[in-house]
Structure 1
């Protein structure tokens, strides 16, 4: 059940935007992302700092929830999940709505300014659940239409718990005798800037988050289609215990 179904009270508006363009190359295909430099400058600068020092290279998609989100930017994998080094937290910038096809920052429950490296793609319209919780989740970019097929491919994989896997069956996911390697996970091989002009990708149609205008700053006490939203950063550590059994 989605939290905070706002119905007609969620007034949305679209306007033209401009963006730096980055390309995320994954083991399942390419995702091209337009970053909202002008409207969410602190978040974009933070994201690009991880891109520039190659922190996202060889990380994995560690969480995928059907009809909700696909999350990454937090871990590499060798014999186990290893958290990447993170930079100082970034101030929340809840300008845009968490609609399908956007990328937003993950953060700790109860702390709206706690985002560091982790991000998630909205694979459905999550505006009713995510635009108000914890001060609103900062949307800082939008994928191109051609990139949707890569997200669909990841979402369609077999999942061990909420971790998408390759060449492992659903039956093997419940077995204690299966070995897992990085080859079984969705890997982000590289993230590169394709066009660093913040005025590129002009004419994007993006949706503003007007939910907070009414002063609604609900916390994470409820649930959405993906369960408690506290997992959007802190709960990601659950993947350690879920996949250790495959070693």
Structure 2
């Protein structure tokens, strides 16, 4: 794994400023009008069949320890265009490989940001911070246990705010667990990350105000301990003291989150109510009449799209009388 970091370090240099562009959600199918009966169970409609995010098939939330606080940033993952890389990254997240039991403390240890170059990138996903068994007060990095290397998927530019996979120099198809976030536009000269070594695969972008947290990571002082920790960000650290776990910029949680948030409103709530339950909209008929329901999908950058459908509420269907016949004699 150290070879991966060293090769990546040789290949990455400072680039120029640019911003990643977000694509707004789209309507994939129209919700048809329907009739509902008063008092019937609420009708459930799956909104993921009605809306989609063109550049976010899924998303994750990072929680990171900063010098005096915990920072949060979200990543929209573009599995539509970079399916291999997104599936690989989610394999690490869902299997828990960015975390590991500490052999000394037997507590769960987390990965950390091991490389930070101001104006260029912050990088993580390669090491987990554990306790040094010989010196229990000190930190000892261990390598993330990796899955097999994956096929390179270049094509999206390494712009500011994008997340991409690091690789071994001279081997385009060598990405495993190691990711980096671009602090500036590094796709073109002089970094040329879009073309060198087959191009570095961008598979998502930081959403909303998340770059505030990423920039706060980049602002943490970095120290040179020699490769692979030659630009090593450390919290509240004063050299030449030993490095402790509390000094690491630890990623203490990575959580899968929905790429879209849904809301719903009714223009006639006395006739039909509309409520969101997870990815579904629940429509209930309350009294006879007509209501127009508006469903809205909002992505993690705040862009949204909506559609409106009509619900006609009718009185409950007549019930057949329970008639019984009895045989008569005589």
| Same fold by TM-score greater than 0.5 | yes
* TM alignment of 1:1-247, pairs within 5 A: 17-19=54-56, 20-28=58-66, 29-57=71-99, 58-78=110-130, 79=132, 80-128=140-188, 129=191, 130-161=193-224, 162-169=231-238, 172=239, 175=240, 178-195=241-258, 201=299
C-alpha separation in 1, matches of 2:159 and 2:246: 31
Runs of 4+ in 1 over 2 A off after TM superposition: 12-18, 199-205
Greater RCO, 1 or 2 (C-alpha within 8 Å, sep 6+): 1
CA distance in 2, matches of 1:13, 1:102: 10
Gap change, CA 1:131 and 1:183, over 3 Å in 2: same
User: Once superposed, what is the RMSD of the aligned Cα atoms?
Assistant: 2.8
**Residues 105-144 of structure 1: CA distance to partner in whole angstroms, max 9, x if unpaired?**
0010000000000000001110112000001000000001
Distance 2:196 2:249 in 1: 28
Provide the residue aligned with 1:208 in structure 2: none
Q: Matched residues in 2 for 1:191 and 1:73: separation? A: 11
Note the alpha carbon deviations across 1:168-214, whole angstroms, 9 max, x for none. 13xx2xx3xx12111101001111111178x9849999xxxxxxxxx
Structure 1 CA distance, aligned partners of 2:127 and 2:201? 21
Alpha carbons 2:207, 2:301 under 8 Å: kept? no
Taking structure 2 as the reference length, the TM-score comes to 0.54
Return 5+ residue gaps in structure 2 as ranges: 1-11, 25-53, 100-109, 133-139, 225-230, 261-296, 304-330
Give the Cα–Cα distance (whole angstroms) in 2 for the partners of residues 56 and 87 of structure 1.
Answer: 12
How many residue pairs match? The answer is: 192
